């Protein structure tokens, strides 16, 4: 589906709910129909989603001049290569920390990282079978990604002028290392990507950086939430679900959610009365979690544990294998 979410004179912003085969079953792409026609996120590389955006472009006799990717998750950039093929002069912009992901199939990233990932997750108590199953699942995603090879890097602070709309790029690491939000201060519009969503807290996943280090997203995420809380905003255009207006209320709800999760995690350790590894804690926090997507639960558990470590409530014993988390 598509809807006009903002309009002033002849300038429009259109939201496209592009289909995803997993919950929440869609991701938003936005078209800024202004002098510089800008696509913010693309959806997956699925014909029906691409056609939906093309139909709008054709109805207004437009061409895409610029594609901005809010972050390197496939439901937001999957079709980038397909749009680039249709509009070869369109500039593709993405934060440097996420740009690499746009240049390859999902499985290529896994091959490169697999040994380090395996070591990391087994050091967190994850069984080998679950690590293997998850690698296989990720390979299936190759079919919905069309890579792109020349990308202009964003670092934050740039202003992307479209005509009436002027978007300031703000780097908000957390949900992913290269997550950006786009802020038009004059009109109070914020493209929030997956940084602030209305219905569900965005899961900051553990990711590996180029140097084989792990990027602990939740710590950065909470800092970045505080950072955007007081932006003067009248309309938030998120990466999923409908648009909303009350940014600070949503941010406060998210901060409260992470406080609660921290408390639940501490409670798991208290109840057990012994040190536990991250996989055990994830299992206790998310008993329904299927093995193939364990990394989501383990990423969350490690995130909450690192928030507790930061508060001085938990210590990680890294000399044990798997790593054990103790209450202080
Ligand atoms: Zn995302
Ligand atoms: Zn998303």
Q: Which ligand is nearest to the CA of 175?
A: 1
The pLDDT, as a whole number, for residue 308 is 96
Q: HSE (CB half, 13 Å, CA atoms) of 233? A: 26
Q: What separation in Å is there between the alpha carbon of 113 and the centre of ligand 2?
A: 22
DSSP SS3 for 29? strand
Q: What separation in Å is there between the alpha carbon of 116 and the centre of ligand 2?
A: 25
Q: Which ligand is nearest to the CA of 195?
A: 1
Look-up of token digits 């510089």: 36
pLDDT digits (tens, 9 = 90+) for 139-167: 778 889 999 999 999 999 999 999 999 99
**Residue 120 CB-density burial (10 A; 0-12 exposed, 13-18 middle, 19+ buried):** buried
The pLDDT, as a whole number, for residue 17 is 97
The pLDDT, as a whole number, for residue 109 is 64
Q: HSE (CB half, 13 Å, CA atoms) of 318? A: 2
The pLDDT, as a whole number, for residue 289 is 82
Positive/negative CA dihedral, 27, 41, 258, 249: negative
The pLDDT, as a whole number, for residue 211 is 62
Q: What separation in Å is there between the alpha carbon of 318 and the centre of ligand 2?
A: 32
* Strands lying side by side in the sheet with 11-19: 2-8, 11-19, 26-33, 38-40, 66-68, 91-95, 152-154
Q: Which ligand is nearest to the CA of 75?
A: 2
Identify the structural domains of the chain with CATH numbers, from first to last: 2-104+146-245 (3.60.15.10), 106-144+259-328 (1.10.10.10)
The pLDDT, as a whole number, for residue 19 is 95
Q: What separation in Å is there between the alpha carbon of 184 and the centre of ligand 1?
A: 21
* Mean of per-residue pLDDT scores for the chain: 91
Look-up of token digits 């995603």: 141
> With a threshold of 0.85, does the pTM exceed it?
yes
Per-10-residue mean pLDDT, the chain, length 328: 95 97 91 98 96 97 98 95 97 95 79 73 85 69 90 97 98 94 98 94 75 74 95 98 96 95 96 96 91 82 93 94 95
Whole-Å CA distances, 83 to 12, 67, 89: 20, 9, 10
Q: What separation in Å is there between the alpha carbon of 99 and the centre of ligand 2?
A: 16
The pLDDT, as a whole number, for residue 108 is 74
Contact between 326 and 318 (Cβ < 8 Å): no
Instruction: Single out the residue of 16, 18, 13 nearest to residue 46, CA to CA.
Output: 18
Q: What separation in Å is there between the alpha carbon of 163 and the centre of ligand 1?
A: 28
DSSP SS3 for 174? coil
The pLDDT, as a whole number, for residue 130 is 75
């Amino acid at each position: 589906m598509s809807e006009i979410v903002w309009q002033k004179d002849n300038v429009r912003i259109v939201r496209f709910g592009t289909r995803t085969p997993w919950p929440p079953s869609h991701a938003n792409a936005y078209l800024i129909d202004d002098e510089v026609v800008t696509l913010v996120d693309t959806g997956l590389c699925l014909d029906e989603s691409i056609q939906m955006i093309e139909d709008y472009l054709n109805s207004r006799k437009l061409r895409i001049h610029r594609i901005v990717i809010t972050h390197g998750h496939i439901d937001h950039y999957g079709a980038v290569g397909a749009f680039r093929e249709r509009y070869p002069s369109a500039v593709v912009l993405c934060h440097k920390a996420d740009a690499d992901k746009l240049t390859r199939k999902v499985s290529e990233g896994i091959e490169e990282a697999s040994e380090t990932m395996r070591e990391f997750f087994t050091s967190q108590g994850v069984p080998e079978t679950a690590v293997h199953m998850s690698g296989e699942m990720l390979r299936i995603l190759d079919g919905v990604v069309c890579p792109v090879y020349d990308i202009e890097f964003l670092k934050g602070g740039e202003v992307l002028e479209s005509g009436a709309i002027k978007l300031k790029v703000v780097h908000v690491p957390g949900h992913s290392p290269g997550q950006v939000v786009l802020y038009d201060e004059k009109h109070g519009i914020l493209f929030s990507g997956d940084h602030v969503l209305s219905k569900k807290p965005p899961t900051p996943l553990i990711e590996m950086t180029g140097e084989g280090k792990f990027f602990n997203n939740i710590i950065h995420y909470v800092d970045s939430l505080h950072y955007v809380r007081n932006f003067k905003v009248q309309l938030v255009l998120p990466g999923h679900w409908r648009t909303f207006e009350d940014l600070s209320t949503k941010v406060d709800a998210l901060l409260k959610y992470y406080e609660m999760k921290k408390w639940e995690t501490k409670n798991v350790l208290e109840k057990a009365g012994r040190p536990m590894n991250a996989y055990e804690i994830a299992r206790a926090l998310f008993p329904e979690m299927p093995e193939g997507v364990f990394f989501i639960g383990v990423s969350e558990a490690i995130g909450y544990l690192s928030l507790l470590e930061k508060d001085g409530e938990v210590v990680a014993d890294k000399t044990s294998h798997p790593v054990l988390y103790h209450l202080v």
